[in-house]
């Protein structure tokens, strides 16, 4: 019968450092699934549309950086082994989104946000604190965060040029995955955050989106 491998505190810190490097270094995250954009035709975008789409994809890429950090922070401090495992599995799934967004940004002749290390550190800290409070709060934070991500993706889907089928395919798949993550977190016992807390989270999300659209 398979048993869970137990890591020492030092081992876990080293694993967290490795996860951070794989998240932040260019082209270091290898997706488990091929990008949905591969089967879509490339559209000719004018310079203005290309800059706008690159900005939207940069926001989404930074959002995935934050998601990685959040899950890793929660996994570090989660009290129940099955919750820790669930957080680590969710982080693995988010690697796909991270890689897809970066690939599309590069195709558009742009680059990920230079602010990613800052947002990674902040998100990791928030995730670790949530995990220290309780696993139920940690799972609830995942659900509330994914709800915010879905709202941003819905907004971005309406802003994409109609002919940019590659970016649309990526965002639609991300939207489906994020909604499933939110539902799974609540089904696992996550706390449903009240509206005032969700409103505060949306304000913080706007700071991230405004700052990373161009840089």
Is 187 within any annotated ligand binding site?
no
Round the CA-based radius of gyration of the chain to a whole number and report it: 17
Is 178 within any annotated ligand binding site?
yes
Contact 190, 139 (CB under 8 A): yes
In 43-170, the DSSP E strands lie at none
- Is the pLDDT at 7 greater than 80? The verdict is no
- Is the pLDDT at 26 greater than 80? The verdict is no
**What span, in angstroms and rounded, lies between the C-alpha atoms of 64 and 212?**
13
**What span, in angstroms and rounded, lies between the C-alpha atoms of 29 and 22?**
5
Is 44 within any annotated ligand binding site?
no
Confidence of residue 192 (pLDDT cuts 50, 70, 90): confident
Per-residue model confidence as pLDDT tens digits over 77-105: 777 776 767 666 766 777 899 999 999 99
Is 94 within any annotated ligand binding site?
yes
Its pTM stands at 0.86
Domains and CATH numbers, the chain: 45-212 (1.20.1260.10)
CA dihedral 136, 142, 144, 147 (to 10 degrees): -150
Residue in 192, 181, 191, 193 with CA at minimum distance from that of residue 86? 181
């Amino acid at each position: 019968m398979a048993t869970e491998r137990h890591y020492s505190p030092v081992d876990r810190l080293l694993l967290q450092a490795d996860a951070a490097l794989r998240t932040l270094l260019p082209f270091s995250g290898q997706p488990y699934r091929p990008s949905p954009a591969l089967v879509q035709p490339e559209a000719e975008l004018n310079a203005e549309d290309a800059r706008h789409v690159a900005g939207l994809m940069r926001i989404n890429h930074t959002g995935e950086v934050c998601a990685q950090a959040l899950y890793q922070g929660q996994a570090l401090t989660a009290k129940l082994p099955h919750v820790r495992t669930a957080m680590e599995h969710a982080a693995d799934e988010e690697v796909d989104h991270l890689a897809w967004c970066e690939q599309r940004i590069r195709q558009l002749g742009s680059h990920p946000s230079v602010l990613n290390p800052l947002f990674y550190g902040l998100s990791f800290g928030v995730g670790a604190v949530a995990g220290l409070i309780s696993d139920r709060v940690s799972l609830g934070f995942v659900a509330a965060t994914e709800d915010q991500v879905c709202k941003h993706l819905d907004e971005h889907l309406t802003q994409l040029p109609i002919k940019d089928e590659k970016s649309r395919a990526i965002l639609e798949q991300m939207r489906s995955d994020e909604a499933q993550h939110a539902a799974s977190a609540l089904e696992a016992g996550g706390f449903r955050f009240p509206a005032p807390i969700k409103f505060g989270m949306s304000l913080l999300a706007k700071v991230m989106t405004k700052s990373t659209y161009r840089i």
